[in-house]
Amino acid sequence: MGDETIFGRILSGAIPCDEVYSDEKCLAFRDIEPQAPVHILVIPRRRLSSLKDAMTEDAELLGHLLLVASLVANQEGLDDWRTIINTGEGAGQTVFHLHLHVIGGRPLTWPPG
């Protein structure tokens, strides 16, 4: 599936992260370049390069990631937040290991840029 990404190295413990949640299926940690007071990434332990690669058998995992996004938002005390998945370079994806951004703690305008 190609070279390991920076998130693969975080999962293996090769580089540190500011972890906020962990279970057998996923890890959540603070984004190194936060775009808001709360900016957390939720990633599956099993690598999918992007949402484009998700198959029917990934449905349970994808649902789990969304529930964890909600859990960490709640953990951070957020009432309102945005969950974002950038898919493909043209949409701003820079790390090709599926991840959900959880962004909040400031007013969020729509549409995003």
User: How do 100-104 and 26-30 pair as beta strands?
Assistant: unpaired
Q: Is 68 in a helix, a strand, or coil? A: helix
Please say which residue, 31 or 58, places its beta carbon nearer to ligand AMP: 31
Determine whether 97 is an active site residue.
no
Q: Using CA atoms, how far apart are residues 82 and 104, in angstroms rounded to an integer?
A: 6
- Residues of this chain that interact with ligand AMP (CB under 6 A) are 6, 17, 31-33, 41, 86, 92-95
Q: Within 24-88, where are the H helices? A: 59-75
**Closest CB 95 distance from ligand AMP, rounded Å:** 4
Please say which residue, 49 or 57, places its beta carbon nearer to ligand AMP: 49
Catalytic residue IDs: 99
